[in-house]
Structures are given as structure tokens and as C-alpha cells.
Structure 1
Amino acid sequence: MCDFAQSVRDATQAMRAVFPATPLLRNAHLSEIYDADVYLKREDLSPVRSYKLRGAFNAMRKRPDVDLFVCASAGNHAQGVAFMCKHFGKQGVIFMPVTTPQQKIQKTAMFGGDSVEIRLTGDYFDDTLASAQAFCAEAGGHFLSPFDDEDVIEGQASVAVELVEQLGKMPDNLVIPVGGGGLSAGMLSYLGPQCQYTFVEPAGGACLHAALEAGKPVRLERVNNFADGAAVGQIGQKTFSRLQNVGLANTLRVSEDRLCTTMLEMLNVEGIVLEPAGALSIDALQDLGQSIRGRTVVCITSGGNFDFERLPEVKERAQKFLGLKKYFVLRMPQRPGALKDFLTLLGPDDDIARFEYLKKSARNYGSVLIGIETRDAENFDRLFGKLDAGGFTYQDITDDDLLSQFMI
């Protein structure tokens, strides 16, 4: 690993001609909560608002004779590749799913300018990836993987070089988000066993956890794409070879809904805009709790490419996780005054966020979809108690993913 470490330091030094080191900042708010020295390594403040340009830089730097780079990405990797294609004067063809939000397409185009061509193909990423690889083979370009590439891993490890230089010592605990494994594999390989690691994944895309259980990379049956910067269906072969001995005890899976509470907390309290994947390491502090008390902890905030059109969804998911918002289907008698009877059951802190008749043809009863927001989760115990006492028939569908998908 000595050669790897020196190569990472060389790559880090070369990066300084292109962009400055991202800051390492002590966060007083989090430090007070956890009675620890909590630092944030702010990869969300890179020129493309994620660490992905590091791997792209290193891979292109090492291939001066390659004129065409090809990648498949719907987000941060695409922007990193575009930025570096423009910097190195290379041509890039970036394949993105047809369903990619316009904001991400526009930012990729902005970073790459005339150096990149964006091709929208496939409804799902696997289709996009297949198209990109087929084109690359035909055109004779170099396919640049977002994580499963030794030069990309080496480039991402530059985060570790900067971190130690800025902190002036090794942290006691290092909390790293994991998607395909490029960042975590690079940092672990560079730093070695000198600190305590926690590798954090979204619950709906925990491909490292699955690989550790199976002893090899395996494809997840289903992936929740909410934390799209880390929601990967299968960890890389090269990255897993570096992570295979980390142990399940050092991995965490966090719920996407709880992640939303952390995103809102950092936005409202600290004014820090993080994408879901970028908030993973901070969210994990809740699980580490007392184990980090009095210690120096560094969380990698891996990205801040957040589309504010998603803010209402983030708020709703956070409210649901905290028990402050619920949806239920109520069987309402079709008689004058029935709605008034229901309204009298609501408390002073209960607000109707949604009210929709689902069936109006029944003569005696009708089903109503109701969304209620409140200030204290315990208020729902009181409300449901009153509904039971009043003989109302209802079903709480807040946590029913299938019904919620079609009705809410």
C-alpha cells in the first residue's frame, strides 16, 4: 500500500492546480449534541458540489493519450466527468437516463460546455449503462466507471490526504457514506487501521452490507433511489476487494425517512444544503451515540446537489418519520353533520393537510382519504382513541408503501 499512498499524495498535489482542498470544519451544533468534536469534511463545497471530480481528474490525468471518455450517470459522476473533460480539453459522451431531472442535465451541460455530449437513453440506469458501454466499445473510447476503477479509487482517496493535513492528526472516528464504494475503499486503503470507521448506507441501497453477508458482491433485488448518490444495486468488484474485511459491525443502514430529518436539521439550523447521500454520515451519529463521546469524529458530507423541488417530499418524509403526519382512510357516513362530527374530534394542534373522497357512489357510507399534521406525535393516540370511541371505521396507511404509492 506504500505505492498507493504515494500515488494518492501525488494525485492530491496535482489537484491543487485545478481546485482547492475542500474545507474541514468543526460543527459546534453537532459537537454539543454528541459531546464530541465533530468535524464535517465538506465535499459538498467542491466546484461540482461533490467529491466525484476527484476520481475523474485522476483517471484523466493518467490517460493523456485518450481523447474520448464515456460514462453513464444520472448525477454527481456525470458532473465530475463533464468538469474534467472541459479542464483537460477531452471529449466526453455522457449517457443519462431519460428520466433524469432537467436540473442535473443542465448542470452537466454547464460544466462540460462544448467538451461533452449528453445522450438521454433508457428509463432505468441498467439500460443507460448498457448503451454507454456498447457505444464506448464501438467508438474506441475509455469507459470511466463512477467507482469500480483503480484510478478513480485513488483519486477519491485524496479526501483522506486533505483531512489529515487539515486536522493535524488522525481522527478517532471516521464516518463515510457508501454507494459503489469508491470513496470508502480509497480512504480505508490510504488511512489503514489507524482510526475507527463507520460505513453508512441508505437502507434501500445497502449493497456493501449485502456483499459482506454473502462474502462477495451481489445484486440487490430492489433499490430505493431516494438517496440517489449512494443507492447502488451492486458494490464494485475492485472496491469490495478493499472493503471485504471491514466487518458488519462497522456498517450502518439508515432509513431514508430519518435521513430527511437530518437534511432539514442541517438546512434549518446550520444553513447547509445536503443531498440525501451527503447527509448519511451526519445521520449516522444518532446510532453511534455515546460511543463517540469525547472523541474526534469526522463525517464526510459527500454531496450537496439537491434539487429544491424535492423539498416538499423531504419535509413530508421527515414528518412521517417523526410521527407528526399520518394518512388514513376513514369510512364516513353519508348523512348531514357527519363531517362536522369528525371535525369536533380534532385537537387544537391538528391540521387537515389532505381531504379527498375516494368513493361517492355508496348510498350510506363513503371512503375518505385524510392527511393530518400535528405538533406532537402523541396527539394521534388521542385522536385515534376518539375515533374508536365514536365508532368510526378507519385504516392508517401511513407506513403502507403499496397503498401510499397509489393513494397519496
Structure 2
Amino acid sequence: MSDFADTALAVTARLRSLFPATPLQKNAYLSQKYGAEIWLKREDLSPVRSYKIRGAFNAMRKALEADPGQSMFVAASAGNHAQGVAFNCAHFGVTGVIFMPVTTPRQKVDKTRAFGGNSVEIRLVGDYFDETLRVAQAFCAERGAHFLAPFDDPHVIEGQSSVAVEMLQELGTPPDLVILPVGGGGLASGVKRYFDEMAPGVPLWLVEPAGGASLTAALAVGAPETLPRVDSFVDGAAVAQIGRKTFDILRRIPPDQVLLAPEDRICVTILEMLNVEGIVLEPAGALSLDVLPQLAERIRGKRVVCVTSGGNFDFERLPEVKERAQRYAGLKKYFILRLPQRPGALRDFLEMLGPDDDIARFEYLKKSARNFGSVLIGIETSRAENFDTLFTRLAAADFTYRDITSDQILSEFLI
């Protein structure tokens, strides 16, 4: 057994003083759906509802062993790392100053406060994580505090490897396939290092959000690459640049084993797991499940472990998640209708709607000097095919319309 595997086992044993191993649960619904034996490693059931508590614990423990007099720790996080740090600050009796992006969901900010209590101070800075990170590191250098990196740190990587240790211990024998999310790379690199030693034949499939594909970008050029723009919806995994230390471990992952999950499709997965299984997952926590349809043929008849990495979901975001899921599934569309300025024109349009078509948005601006008026319409329906029928009727009646559902600029401005 290598030094890393020994360390991973030791870290896992030490974690038992903080919390029991998170469950590895066979999911009957997904297993039946995909004709496979699908197990969920429920990191969403840790004390802070994510795996981040592991790396924070190990990094803080190592720092205190090296310098028992260290009393202040600083972290930058979009939420889950912050909660892990806060929990451990209270556990070790030290002070933490935690920097979080202004865009962090309120639920994560409140939970961080609750876990840390009087041990932590929270500062909301920056719109994106990378900006928050720069401010936190500058503060840390100025105050002589110890910075707890969210992912690009060997001690954090050791801590996250405990997920792999528990996975093999709970399963008994290695699975056929493991699917896990990747953001900065701490979890993926920790799992990979342990599996390389203890279960080298098991392929790892990594999933990152389409709007934050930092590993894909790094693999393309052979080094960490800063993305010009990041979609912060998957706030637990959307980073502009993967860690340098983590990429050194992940650089040999075959590029075709790194999958991208569109943000709107992730919303479909979140709702499916909530409505069918009663499992609450945040966007990053749903990544490993979101790609199951893409891997359906590959996983059939096999034993698969999916890491559900976090469950810190703010239910104030549920309307947005539902909206994005409906639009991705083709069950909701927005379009601009050019409506003739004549009596009965609106009634003619309404009669074209099917029995399952429901108007969710209607804004009409009548301009008396023109023969036509523009109407912004949002329609929900039960089957995507219903829109084909509606649009066929509109065309036959010479109604002019423009579908703006996928037009990002118009959608953001009008909807």
C-alpha cells in the first residue's frame, strides 16, 4: 500500500470523531430505469450536506499540528467549503473569516453562520468565486492567518480521498464504474489517487457544468486555463480555472471521460430526484446523475457508484429550477406573436391552443397607428409535441411569430 493510500485510510479513521461514514445506498428507481446496479454515495447527508467537510477537517488539523498557536483561518467559498470550514472552526475552537461571493444563495450563507456560530465572521465580496478568492488571499497575507484552500491543496485532496475509502469499504468490492462531479478538482483528484492504488481497473467518469468546464479547457491545452466566462448557476462546481495541483493528478484522464452537463438539463435532474425519490440535491450534487442517460448503454448490467456531492439547495430557487427544466424539456416556450389589430384576432389565436396548453405569460402593447401589435407569450404544455401542433396552426392562419425560448439575449431582457 502506498503512502497516499495509508494517509487516506488514516484520515478516514480520524473523521469518525467528527461524523459517521456517509451512506452508500443502492437506488432502486435509477437501477431499474437504466438496467444497472446504481449506488449513490450520499455526500449530501454529511453534517454540512456536502463532502467539503472532509478536506477542511484534514487541512485544519494538519495546520494546527504544524503550528498549535495558529488561531485564525481564512477561506473563500461559494458555500459548501465555507460550511465545512465553519463546522471545523467550531470543532477545533479557532476563529474563521470566510469570504463568499455576493451571489451565494442565502441558504448557504445562513447555514455557514449556523455551523460556525461565534467562531466565524462572514464577508460577502465579489460576483464570482475567483474575485472572492483574490480578496480572501490578500486579507490572509495582511493578517498572517492560515488560508484554507477549497481544493488546490494536498491536505484537502487527502481529506476528500476519504470518499473513495468509504466507498470501497461500504461496497466490499470495487464497482465497475464511478461517476463524480468536478469543479476545482479536489474530490476528483482525491478519489483518483486512492483508486489508482486500491482499484486501478475502475474507470472514473467526471462531470462538470457546461458553463464552467475548466477541466475540459485544461485538458485541451495541457495546463490549467482561465475561462473567459463562468455560469455561476452550478455554484458548487463552477470555477474559472481548475487547480494546478489537482490538474497534475487529473491530466491523464481521457478527455472523452469528462462529460459536460448543461445547466438547464441539470434542473430536470434536480426535479426528478426531488419528485420521484424525495432526494434534495443542489446543482453540483446532481451532476453525476445528470449524465446517466448519456452513459445508459455503457452502464447497462454494471455496478455503478454516483457521488451526490451536495444537498445545499435553497428552495427559493425552485421556481427558477422548474422554469429552466420545463424549457429544456420543451414543455414551456416563449415567443413574440405579431397579432393583427382587428376585432377577434386574439380570440382566433386562443382557439388555436390545445386542451393542455396553458398561457403562463401574456403581455400585449397595442399601437393604434399600426396594423399589427406585438405580444409576448409564454405557454406551458404537457407534451413537447403539442408545440408542433400549435405552430402548424399558426402558420396555416398566417400568424407571424418568433420563438425566443433559446435566444439568450432576448430571453434575459424580456423574460
**TM interval, short-chain normalised:** over 0.9
Q: Please, what TM-score do these two structures have when normalized by structure 2? A: 0.96
Residue 328 of structure 1 corresponds to 335
* Amino acid of the structure 1 residue aligned with 2:349: F
Residue 177 of structure 1 corresponds to 181
Asked if 1:311 is matched to 2:310, the reply is no
Given candidates 86, 110, 117, the residue that maps to 2:114 is: 110
Deviation of 1:359 (Å) = 6.0
**Equivalent-residue separation in structure 2 for 1:227 and 1:51 (angstroms):** 16
CA deviations on 1:189-223 (whole Å, 9 max, x unpaired) are 01112201110111111111111111111011111
Structure 2, unmatched stretches of 5+, are: none
* Greater mean deviation of Cα atoms: 228-237 or 95-104: 95-104
Asked if 1:9 is matched to 2:9, the reply is yes
* Amino acid of the structure 2 residue aligned with 1:34: Y
**Equivalent-residue separation in structure 2 for 1:377 and 1:294 (angstroms):** 31
**Equivalent-residue separation in structure 1 for 2:368 and 2:237 (angstroms):** 46
Q: Secondary structure at the match of 2:233?
A: helix
* Amino acid of the structure 2 residue aligned with 1:18: L
Give me the identity figure in percent. 67
Residue 374 of structure 2 corresponds to 367
Q: Is residue 184–residue 199 contact of structure 1 (8 Å, CA) maintained in 2? A: yes
Q: 1:107 to 1:388 in 2, by over 3 A?
A: same
CA deviations on 1:208-243 (whole Å, 9 max, x unpaired) are 111111111101111111111111111000000000
**Equivalent-residue separation in structure 2 for 1:68 and 1:135 (angstroms):** 12
Deviation of 1:319 (Å) = 1.0
**Equivalent-residue separation in structure 1 for 2:363 and 2:339 (angstroms):** 11
**Equivalent-residue separation in structure 2 for 1:123 and 1:34 (angstroms):** 39
Residue 145 of structure 2 corresponds to 141
Given candidates 155, 160, 173, the residue that maps to 1:156 is: 160
Deviation of 1:335 (Å) = 2.2
* Amino acid of the structure 1 residue aligned with 2:269: T
Residue 79 of structure 1 corresponds to 83
Residue 259 of structure 2 corresponds to 252
Q: Is residue 358–residue 369 contact of structure 1 (8 Å, CA) maintained in 2? A: no
Structure 1, unmatched stretches of 5+, are: none
**Equivalent-residue separation in structure 1 for 2:299 and 2:77 (angstroms):** 36
Residue 219 of structure 1 corresponds to 226
CA deviations on 1:343-364 (whole Å, 9 max, x unpaired) are 0110111110100125646532
CA deviations on 1:311-349 (whole Å, 9 max, x unpaired) are 111111111111111100001122221110100110111
CA deviations on 1:43-64 (whole Å, 9 max, x unpaired) are 0000000000000000011111
Residue 122 of structure 1 corresponds to 126
Asked if 1:26 is matched to 2:20, the reply is no
Q: Is residue 263–residue 274 contact of structure 1 (8 Å, CA) maintained in 2? A: yes
Q: 1:109 to 1:33 in 2, by over 3 A?
A: same
CA-based RMSD: 1.2
Asked if 1:287 is matched to 2:294, the reply is yes
1:203-214 equivalence runs, <5 A = 203-214=210-221
Q: 1:115 to 1:362 in 2, by over 3 A?
A: farther
1:321-360 equivalence runs, <5 A = 321-358=328-365, 360=367
Q: State how many pairs are aligned.
A: 408
Q: Is residue 180–residue 235 contact of structure 1 (8 Å, CA) maintained in 2? A: yes
CA deviations on 1:21-56 (whole Å, 9 max, x unpaired) are 000000000101111110000000000000000000
Residue 46 of structure 1 corresponds to 46
Q: Is residue 82–residue 98 contact of structure 2 (8 Å, CA) maintained in 1? A: yes
Q: Is residue 36–residue 301 contact of structure 2 (8 Å, CA) maintained in 1? A: yes
Q: Please, what TM-score do these two structures have when normalized by structure 1? A: 0.98
Q: Secondary structure at the match of 2:293?
A: helix
* Amino acid of the structure 1 residue aligned with 2:166: E
